[in-house]
Structure 1
């Protein structure tokens, strides 16, 4: 078949509609509201194959600026890898991967992705190496204090979230910066009910409660504060354990264990920088694409 490759699908209404139809069929997911609300940025670059007007395969390259131990890094995260069922086993994902590597392998410090269990044998063929991640957790006694659930349908609260995101997470050893776009992909949809303002410490916290466990994905605030004090204030009532969705700068008081990645494995391109090798890191979970 004669396929057409589009690298600018988001700007074209008809092609974006076809892209969203493929995403809905594959992941029960649409990017349309995120786009219409103005959160899509050029750092998100779908590479989409079309058969006529139908989107049949995609791999997205996402430019990401990371801060690792005070050093700025320019990474590419691959995501939204999908092929229409009727077009599988034709090498379409390989074609898209080859195109992305041609465009970006020499233009960034590293390329990485997260893969589900069905494709763990696929990415090593492109020179990717599987790496372990490590999760940090601690027991916690809830401290008295207020927390306000922020309304992500309210412009004022969205602007407040952006203001605090720009302060960054001062407790994280590996941060994704200047990427409000991906943050709002989560906070305007899946995690719109998980954003809180903590007035006692002037911080915005993104987290979810599951039973007696609080999964704290991010904390955005000014520096000079204590992480454990912040967690005790941010945790909801009834919590006795906190799991971090980021790598703390000081993890000495935390329990560290490998992440169960059987269905969300991290792969890093071997020919590029690999900060995960030999380190007990977790990539910030709210910035997976």
Structure 2
């Protein structure tokens, strides 16, 4: 096999998935796909374009098929993730090889990705342009209700199935720039222990939310209809809070929320994806 030959790893290639899982922490130290794969959450929407040597993945660019929402319209596109190369093989053009393979698969469709600040100069070479992301919040004093909304355990297959169904059948968390049908991405955050608690406000309304430094962070809402969040806030906290922040553009859930800063967790790049003017935040639980 040529060292630069690209292998496609999809949801049915369980042996190759193991090689992919071994690759990921060699490039992204705190990231792990093994539990997500063990849960059976690697579905047909996700595929990895990998260069392999002696049975090991040495470079990769993964593609997630996405149902995006842009100004109220449904847009079929893709999101890239897990793009990189193992340290000992860097500087030899392998990242370019896997990027070209992934983008060939995407064709002329809209593509987006979130990049770390060490590689911001890499993606414009492939036609990507940066897009600013903002933080949204509101100053609000809330006291805990005493009884938290019940937590959903996503280690249970039935719970994951319900979350995926809500993500597919429910309303989009934002109509400005967001996603639907991204439940399998959200399960990855839970499997990797990167998610805040998922709480059931009612049977058809689940919320990823948690308190940090006196701030209630509402990361995502999965519901069959838009509802007033305010009466439920006290059931999401176990200590008083002075501020609420949102992991998405909250125009549907809190129209009075303001821009409170820049989202510096990761830098967004887009390709063939015209977006509206004005501030927005792509939902954090839909990022790969």
Same-fold status (TM-score > 0.5): yes
- Show the 5 A alignment for 1:264-283: 264-269=266-271, 272-275=272-275, 278-283=277-282
Measure the CA separation in 1 of the matches of 2:82 and 2:228. Answer: 37
Measure the CA separation in 2 of the matches of 1:259 and 1:168. Answer: 28
Deviations 1:40-70 (A, max 9, x none): 1111111000123221100111110012333
Deviations 1:17-40 (A, max 9, x none): 222111122224332321221211
Superposition TM-score, scaled by structure 2 size: 0.87
| Distance change in 2, residues 1:154/1:20 (3 Å) | closer
The equivalent residue for 1:8 is: 9
Measure the CA separation in 2 of the matches of 1:14 and 1:202. Answer: 37
Deviations 1:84-130 (A, max 9, x none): 11110011111111222222132x2x111111111011111112111
Q: Does residue 187 in structure 1 map to residue 190 in structure 2?
A: yes
The equivalent residue for 2:122 is: 122
Q: Which is worse superposed, 26-35 or 204-213?
A: 26-35
- Show the 5 A alignment for 1:207-286: 207-231=209-233, 233-250=235-252, 252-261=255-264, 264-269=266-271, 272-275=272-275, 278-286=277-285
Contact 1:169 1:218 in 2 (8 A): no
Deviations 1:157-215 (A, max 9, x none): 3344344334434552244212321121112332466111124x962110121021111
Q: Does residue 137 in structure 1 map to residue 137 in structure 2?
A: yes
C-alpha RMSD of matched pairs (Å): 2.4
Measure the CA separation in 2 of the matches of 1:140 and 1:169. Answer: 25
| Distance change in 2, residues 1:205/1:224 (3 Å) | closer
Measure the CA separation in 2 of the matches of 1:123 and 1:10. Answer: 26
Contact 1:137 1:242 in 2 (8 A): yes
Contact 1:9 1:48 in 2 (8 A): no
Structure 2 residue matching 1:240: 3-state secondary structure: strand
Measure the CA separation in 1 of the matches of 2:95 and 2:282. Answer: 24
The equivalent residue for 2:22 is: 21
What stretches of structure 1 of length at least 5 have no aligned partner? none
Structure 2 residue matching 1:286: 3-state secondary structure: helix
Structure 2 residue matching 1:3: 3-state secondary structure: coil
Measure the CA separation in 1 of the matches of 2:97 and 2:267. Answer: 22
| Distance change in 2, residues 1:156/1:127 (3 Å) | closer
Superposition TM-score, scaled by structure 1 size: 0.87
1:237: how far off? Answer: 3.1
The equivalent residue for 2:46 is: 44
Measure the CA separation in 1 of the matches of 2:182 and 2:5. Answer: 29
| Distance change in 2, residues 1:260/1:245 (3 Å) | closer
Measure the CA separation in 2 of the matches of 1:132 and 1:169. Answer: 25
Contact 1:167 1:220 in 2 (8 A): no
| Distance change in 2, residues 1:77/1:160 (3 Å) | closer
The equivalent residue for 1:73 is: 75
1:146: how far off? Answer: 4.5
Question: How many residues are matched?
Answer: 282
What stretches of structure 2 of length at least 5 have no aligned partner? none
